[in-house]
Amino acid sequence: MKYMLLLRYPDGAGPQEGTPEFDAEMATWGALNQELKESGTVITAAGLQPETAATTVRTREGETVLTDGPFAETKELLFSFYVVDVPDLDAATALAARLPNAAYGSVAVRPLTFIEQA
């Protein structure tokens, strides 16, 4: 079963760059990413540019309206995602719990209905 893991954190949460805690978290991310790659669990994963780099698209009454920034105010920032192929929801949530940001943010686990190959 394929799931998307949406990684979020409250602005300013988590270890700060340049600290030993940050370096330790980056090492954890690196080891976990390597493990997931070697196991074939990850279909794709990527970090996202900050919310300020977003462009929101709406179509209203036949007109396309572009807005800089996120669609809505939120307390948690979406910063990365994984698309994984695991046996079931239990496996997906167990993986989500291993992601370092789960300790100070959240990971939304969403089943995918289909993946179209480009």
Closest CA to 10 of 97, 80, 75: 75
Domain that holds residue 20: 2-111
Kindly state whether residue 28 falls inside one of the protein's structural domains. yes
- pLDDT per residue as tens, the chain (118 positions): 899 999 988 878 889 999 999 999 999 999 999 999 999 999 999 888 887 787 877 888 989 888 876 555 667 778 889 899 999 999 999 999 999 888 888 899 999 987 666 6
CATH number of the domain at 59, please.
3.30.70.1060
pTM, two decimals, is 0.80
| Domains contained in the chain, number | 1
Kindly state whether residue 66 falls inside one of the protein's structural domains. yes
Strand order in the sheet with 42-47: 42-47, 76-85, 2-10, 106-111
